[in-house]
A = this chain, B = another copy of it.
Amino acid sequence: MSAELDFIAALRALAGDPAARGLRDDCAVLPFGGQTLVLTHDTIVAGVHFLPDMDPADIAWRLVATNISDLAAKGAAPVGVLLAYQLNGAEARFLEGLRAALAEYGAPLLGGDTVGMPDGAAQTLGLTAIGRATHTPVPGRDGAALGDILYITGPVGGAMIGLEALRGGDNGAASAAYRRPQAQLAAGIALAPHVGAMMDVSDGVLLDAARMATASRVTIAIDSAAVPIAAPEPRRAEALRWGDDYHLLFTAAPDVVLPVHAHAIGRVIAAGKAPILLDGAPLSLGDDLGFAHG
């Protein structure tokens, strides 16, 4: 991780434009013409971000859904995507999943690049998602205010259970939460005018909440029993630390009537010594909070 963190710190020096949001947010956000452009790019690598023997249709779905999820966290509507694809001979199934995911989110393919892959290389795939903000100011991770309630739009732990099912040979409903995550696009658009901070939960609710707290210079107190989980109760602690579920984590003032159903799981308090209080116990970014992958 150290090389990555050092590199990102150096990149921040090149990212002084306010649109870059210090490389600390899910997306770049910039005025363009009379509207606001929202841009994100995720790269996934076989063996790092996905199982090399997964159905390529599921890999394509995840590539699209996770990027669209970043747009959802900004309340942005998709304009389209650019695909960076590396040929590995499994194009037919990849196209199936790509077609399904682009149709699901109404995001046309606008361009990209297709390249070869040397023997023995790990397939590396990228997607740039382009969106249009539906509300300004565009929510960031840094908007959590004292007294806000912390909410999540759905359960965590489903992808953990789904991955286990996939590893056990399931390719149906039991593994769907991992294979076919759902970007909360409609919820993000509905919520954007009402939230303080908002982000998608990609790396685990505790880790992502800690990032939100750090960006907002507050502490967030989380009631672990209030977090909805899609896993057996004995695995609650794991579910809170597992990623890939892509629900939206956001704060709103207590008097806000939310336009979509969400679960209150904590509250924003004055910055203490740690970004998170979990059932009263301080937890910091160095602690075991979630899944920080490259």
Chain A positions within 8 Å of B, measured between CB atoms, are 3-4, 6-8, 10-11, 14-17, 19-21, 23, 27-28, 30-37, 39-49, 79-80, 82-87, 89, 91, 95, 98-99, 102, 108-118, 120-122, 124, 126, 128, 130, 132, 293-294
Contacts and interface: CB of A to CB of B under 8 A. Distances in A.
A294 B87 contact: yes
Which residue, A21, A95, A121, has most C-beta atoms of chain B within 10 A?
A: A121
Contacts of A293: 116
A71 to B, nearest CB: 13
A243 to B, nearest CB: 15
Which residue, A27, A39, A43, A111, has most C-beta atoms of chain B within 10 A?
A: A111
Given A91-B10, A128-B128, A114 B28 contact: no
A63 to B, nearest CB: 12
30 contacts: A3-B87, A4-B114, A7-B95, A11-B95, A11-B109, A11-B112, A14-B102, A15-B109, A17-B109, A19-B80, A20-B80, A23-B111, A27-B111, A28-B80, A28-B110, A30-B79, A40-B82, A40-B111, A41-B128, A43-B86, A43-B126, A45-B121, A46-B118, A84-B84, A113-B126, A118-B122, A120-B120, A120-B121, A126-B126, A128-B128
A110 B130 CA distance: 13
Contact of A294 (B21, B99, B108, B116): B116
Contact of A111 (B28, B99, B113): B28
